[in-house]
Amino acid sequence: MANSFSAATIADIILGSEMLVLQNKVIDLDRFATNFSGDAIALTRNGNGARSSLHVDLASGASATQTNPTNYEQGDSTLGAVSVAMNEYSQPFHITPAQAGSGRKIEKLLTVNLHALQDKLDSVVKGLMTTANYGTAILTKDPTTVTSADIKTIIQGTGKFSQRNLVADASFWAQFAVTTDKNSLGVMDGAYGLDSLSLSTDWSGAGSNVNGFVGDVSAIAMAARLPENTSEVNEQLDMATIELPNGLVVQVCKWVSLVSRNTWNSFDVVFGAGVGDATAGKLIQSA
């Protein structure tokens, strides 16, 4: 008899491996402005709820400061909104009865497919990191030659940022991560005067020669929801949700094909990203 794994069991397995999947390659999304929710995105009359846009709040202006006021009820703040185009992303994978019955483990499939989904979402965010969106790079240099002096340049050029979260490729990051302290590897909060310095390895989706980004929390507007399912679909699927360390909630689905009797699973999420405050983000480019 073939093994069977419920969606809840799959979620438990992910809890033990998600840190490896998330931290080694992709941007920590919660370092920037986020609007993540475990709620399903609302259906629209045209039936494309998962692909409709959401608006992420962006506070852009305060009211006038009053001096010696006689009326304390005056002044309007400006709360704008960034329209974020949403898309549904699904990562399906399956195991056959023969594979499960011969001792094949679902854990390997879980890890590699969650990895693939994270890479896809990462590429959506990286696709925003272009000079058209964020202007001339704050630093253009061979990443293998950067020093702490270059960090000073970055800090000087981001003086108004409330936070400086710097994410860079392995060549740049390695110049600061490898020290005599064996415990220095990892996301370095507060290092070199930055709020965080972290690694992301794939920059192929970013602009030309872009290999790093430093941003305030409002630099990128992101939103995530779960896809909406009809009651009939909900009755046929074994579903669970899991919240990843960066705040992203992913739906886990499981079903069995009546034709092949293969056990199918998928990770599903509705996600979108857009440019928030373009002045709150700066690019880093290789020479």
Per residue in 14-57, pLDDT (tens digit) is 555 444 444 445 778 877 767 776 666 654 444 555 566 666 66
The domain at 7-60+79-285 falls in which architecture? Alpha-Beta Complex (3.90)
Q: Which among 277, 214, 282, 239 is positioned nearest to 82, based on CA atoms? A: 277
Phi-psi region of 151 (alpha: psi -120 to 50; beta: other; left: phi over 0): alpha
- CA of residue 85 relative to chain centroid, distance: 15
160 pLDDT higher than 80: yes
Q: Which among 202, 232, 251 is positioned nearest to 92, based on CA atoms? A: 251
CA distance 178 to 172: 11
Question: Could you read off the pLDDT of 235-286 as tens digits, one per residue?
Answer: 888 888 888 777 788 898 888 888 888 888 899 999 989 998 899 999 999 9
Domain regions of the chain by residue span: 7-60+79-285
Instruction: Please indicate whether residue 247 or residue 103 has the higher confidence score (pLDDT).
Output: 247
Instruction: Please indicate whether residue 198 or residue 178 has the higher confidence score (pLDDT).
Output: 198
Rounded to an integer, the average pLDDT of 167-195 is 74
Q: Which among 140, 201, 192 is positioned nearest to 169, based on CA atoms? A: 201
pTM confidence score = 0.78
